[in-house]
Chain A
């Protein structure tokens, strides 16, 4: 659905169901340069099982208007604005990669508004490889190719997509090329690189938090994910074998099962 936030049009997938303000809200925040479509194998399930879902296209990404936000802090405030804009007082947040930085910061800034936090491939800081950053800022498609290479584990490189007929690497590449690379990936990578408050923000989080990590994640390795999770009081960790950074697609079923258990336990819906 489309709605306005800060005078810009925002697109968010509602998971194939009409948006219903009477149901608890789950907001999904995508990673650098990507779109709401990365969440399709999680959002539809929740939308059909008692929740209202918003898989956002961040400003300047996918089908959303406006320009890409330049800092993680701005993105965190924007997610909070989204909750207000759709008429809710609270929500559960799910983030992937850069989306983890955004949702950590958003949760720390809005302790009463965010009820659960689910992090996939998250870390307290995501410093960028300077050459990758430069390629993205210079609109070089090789930035997308490198990101897709590093974002998929060895198994994901071979394929075996959970949806029959889809090929991981090429699908991911197309998602990252839906808009101009320098205006999405370039801006996002710079925002990740500049963000330094992840560990401090994590210490302030007191809500139920889940971290899903993957053994073959080169972008946010398990070690970094654990370091972040250990700063969050009572945080749960789930580690997926033979899987890379794109766990939400590479091991979509496993991710959905873990997420389902966590959210339905800690943020139940009676709808």
Chain B
């Protein structure tokens, strides 16, 4: 019956949502482009209107630290693309993670976290959150049972990057989601590397998704931004683990976020409490820049993935390369899982080892000209970095080893330039990298 003409939902699909979701021109002077509301604050109709907005009796904007119309378009757009109920944009990916954790946890709480993370995220969980009384047990992302074993009475969630930075280890998201849900806690996933074009974690059991929008979503290396997306399925009232979600909150006249807002409760709390008290808001200009990127997300991601697979092939056959890690490689330990979770492409992050170790790595980095040596990923341009001396340099040897990092590792974020130009640039880098070894061998 459902296959009959006219009985399928006519809700907009991904590419259409990328361009239109969250915005109605007829409510914005007919402006086809999303306007940049460059304002700090919004006029109230009268005293009653002001009180109603402050008390969450009405929707609307008060002050741009809490919400802004341009930023709200971005939030709705990303929520729609992820299949989420709601989203909250932040000033960066790191502030998105911090705000999500602070919305979920209190002092005395515990989290189970994948060990393969961006270095800044590792430091947040390892060094900074303990200052707030929030402790972490790290588990290697492929150790699915390890996540279960690490859960304690005071554990409030599981967190991980879907594909670990920089080693490309993939979390078995459906199984880890089940472990989390069996324990009555949510799964929070950083899906920055994938974007919703490659994977929608909510469809695989994630409850909260975070992104650094700075990367592929914005895509052009121009603007910092982050976002928290809520799946809306997690039942905060199923146990007594989340009193700040379920019990009356003094900060809003005894409001219970879970009772009042249900599938959007987490976002409402993150905004009403987190943005009010911590304030890592996104500027409307940066929100607009990210929106421009999202308009072409699927077009860019296809090209990123296409170029990445060609670079994998190039690197696998190269004499200067010791090893290549990318989920598209058949002998990658998570290749089958990648096929299941990432059917539209395996992403454009490649890690590879250069023969000659650290010295060769430095020579390679110093001699590529087209690829940019910088601390970012997900630009339209090709980017390279030597993690052990840059993004993960604040880790000691033991932590580096636990994070799966080696001194010969180069992290490559493949851009959308002509693939032949990227390969030629890498040939120059490899040629230079071989020279020190020849000298040292003499």
Interface residue ranges, A against B (CB under 8 Å): 13, 16-18, 35, 37, 40-41, 44-45, 48, 63, 131-132, 134-135, 140, 142, 145-146, 148-149, 155, 157-167, 169-171, 174-175, 177-178, 242, 252-253, 256
What chain A residues lie within 8 Å of B263 (beta carbons)?
Answer: 37, 171, 174-175, 178
Q: Is B233 an interface residue, CB under 8 A from the partner?
A: yes
Q: List 27 A-B contacts (CB under 8 A).
A: A16-B253, A48-B52, A131-B2, A142-B8, A146-B7, A146-B9, A155-B24, A158-B23, A159-B21, A159-B76, A159-B77, A160-B23, A162-B58, A162-B59, A164-B59, A164-B60, A164-B61, A164-B68, A164-B71, A166-B79, A167-B76, A170-B85, A171-B85, A171-B86, A171-B264, A174-B233, A175-B262
Are A174 and B85 CB-contacts (below 8 A) given A164-B271, A166-B264? Answer: yes
- In the complex the two chains form, what is the Cα distance from A142 to B11 in whole Å? 12
What chain A residues lie within 8 Å of B57 (beta carbons)?
Answer: 41, 44-45, 48
- In the complex the two chains form, what is the Cα distance from A67 to B22 in whole Å? 37
Nearest chain-B residue to A46 (Cβ)?
B57
Question: Is the Cβ of B22 less than 8 Å from the Cβ of A159?
Answer: yes
Nearest chain-A residue to B231 (Cβ)?
A174
Q: Is B260 an interface residue, CB under 8 A from the partner?
A: yes
User: Which residues of B (55-92) have their CB < 8 Å from a CB of A?
Assistant: 55-61, 67-69, 71-73, 75-77, 79-80, 83-89
Q: Is B348 an interface residue, CB under 8 A from the partner?
A: no
Question: Is the Cβ of B260 less than 8 Å from the Cβ of A167?
Answer: no
- In the complex the two chains form, what is the Cα distance from A33 to B393 in whole Å? 54
Bitwise interface map of B from 102 to 143 toward A, beta carbon under 8 Å scored 1, else 0: 000000000000000000000000000000000000000000
- Please name the 8 residue pairs, one residue from A and one from B, whose CB atoms are nearest each other, closest first: A162-B59, A174-B263, A163-B59, A164-B67, A174-B232, A164-B72, A165-B75, A44-B57
Question: Is the Cβ of B27 less than 8 Å from the Cβ of A160?
Answer: yes
Task: Known pairs A149-B10, A158-B20, A164-B68; list 9 more (Cβ under 8 Å).
Answer: A37-B261, A45-B58, A134-B1, A142-B9, A157-B12, A158-B21, A162-B58, A165-B79, A167-B86
Question: Is the Cβ of B237 less than 8 Å from the Cβ of A63?
Answer: yes
Q: Is B145 an interface residue, CB under 8 A from the partner?
A: no
- In the complex the two chains form, what is the Cα distance from A13 to B77 in whole Å? 30
What chain B residues lie within 8 Å of A140 (beta carbons)?
Answer: 2
Nearest chain-A residue to B265 (Cβ)?
A37
What chain A residues lie within 8 Å of B153 (beta carbons)?
Answer: none
B336 to chain A, nearest CB (A): 27
Question: Which of B51, B83, B89 touches A170 (beta carbons < 8 Å)?
Answer: B83
What chain A residues lie within 8 Å of B73 (beta carbons)?
Answer: 159
Question: Is the Cβ of B260 less than 8 Å from the Cβ of A37?
Answer: yes
Nearest chain-A residue to B271 (Cβ)?
A165
Nearest chain-B residue to A138 (Cβ)?
B1
A157 to chain B, nearest CB (A): 6
What chain A residues lie within 8 Å of B340 (beta carbons)?
Answer: none
Question: Is the Cβ of B80 less than 8 Å from the Cβ of A160?
Answer: no
What chain A residues lie within 8 Å of B264 (beta carbons)?
Answer: 163, 165-166, 171
B151 to chain A, nearest CB (A): 26
Question: Is the Cβ of B21 less than 8 Å from the Cβ of A167?
Answer: yes
Question: Is the Cβ of B52 less than 8 Å from the Cβ of A165?
Answer: no
What chain A residues lie within 8 Å of B267 (beta carbons)?
Answer: 165-166
Question: Which of B61, B72, B76, B254 touches A16 (beta carbons < 8 Å)?
Answer: B254
Question: Is the Cβ of B11 less than 8 Å from the Cβ of A169?
Answer: yes
Question: Is the Cβ of B262 less than 8 Å from the Cβ of A178?
Answer: yes
Are A158 and B22 CB-contacts (below 8 A) given A13-B260, A131-B2? Answer: yes
Q: Is B149 an interface residue, CB under 8 A from the partner?
A: no
Q: Is B36 an interface residue, CB under 8 A from the partner?
A: no
- In the complex the two chains form, what is the Cα distance from A174 to B8 in whole Å? 18
Are A160 and B22 CB-contacts (below 8 A) given A40-B260, A167-B79? Answer: yes
Bitwise interface map of B from 238 to 279 toward A, beta carbon under 8 Å scored 1, else 0: 000000000000001111000111111001100100000000
Question: Which of B26, B55, B71, B76 touches A48 (beta carbons < 8 Å)?
Answer: B55
- In the complex the two chains form, what is the Cα distance from A135 to B9 in whole Å? 13
- In the complex the two chains form, what is the Cα distance from A164 to B191 in whole Å? 22
What chain A residues lie within 8 Å of B89 (beta carbons)?
Answer: 165
Bitwise interface map of B from 297 to 322 toward A, beta carbon under 8 Å scored 1, else 0: 00000000000000000000000000
Nearest chain-A residue to B259 (Cβ)?
A13
What chain A residues lie within 8 Å of B71 (beta carbons)?
Answer: 164
Q: Among A135, A146, A167, A175, which residue has the most Cβ atoms of chain B within 10 A?
A: A167
Question: Which of B4, B24, B58 touches A253 (beta carbons < 8 Å)?
Answer: B58
Question: Is the Cβ of A167 less than 8 Å from the Cβ of B84?
Answer: yes
- In the complex the two chains form, what is the Cα distance from A230 to B73 in whole Å? 40
Are A135 and B23 CB-contacts (below 8 A) given A16-B253, A167-B84? Answer: no
Nearest chain-A residue to B20 (Cβ)?
A158
- In the complex the two chains form, what is the Cα distance from A148 to B84 in whole Å? 14
- In the complex the two chains form, what is the Cα distance from A134 to B1 in whole Å? 9
B34 to chain A, nearest CB (A): 11
- In the complex the two chains form, what is the Cα distance from A208 to B214 in whole Å? 55
User: Which residues of B (398-435) have their CB < 8 Å from a CB of A?
Assistant: none
B243 to chain A, nearest CB (A): 17
What chain A residues lie within 8 Å of B253 (beta carbons)?
Answer: 16-17, 48
- In the complex the two chains form, what is the Cα distance from A157 to B75 in whole Å? 15
What chain A residues lie within 8 Å of B252 (beta carbons)?
Answer: 16
Question: Which of A18, A40, A162, A170 touches B60 (beta carbons < 8 Å)?
Answer: A162
User: Which residues of B (206-237) have their CB < 8 Å from a CB of A?
Assistant: 232-233, 237
B276 to chain A, nearest CB (A): 13
Question: Which of B4, B52, B254 touches A131 (beta carbons < 8 Å)?
Answer: B4
What chain B residues lie within 8 Å of A242 (beta carbons)?
Answer: 26
What chain B residues lie within 8 Å of A17 (beta carbons)?
Answer: 253-254
- In the complex the two chains form, what is the Cα distance from A160 to B85 in whole Å? 13
Are A131 and B259 CB-contacts (below 8 A) given A44-B55, A158-B24, A252-B59? Answer: no
Q: Among B59, B73, B252, which residue has the most Cβ atoms of chain A within 10 A?
A: B59
What chain B residues lie within 8 Å of A155 (beta carbons)?
Answer: 24, 26
Nearest chain-B residue to A168 (Cβ)?
B76
- In the complex the two chains form, what is the Cα distance from A104 to B346 in whole Å? 56
Nearest chain-A residue to B21 (Cβ)?
A159
A7 to chain B, nearest CB (A): 22
A169 to chain B, nearest CB (A): 6
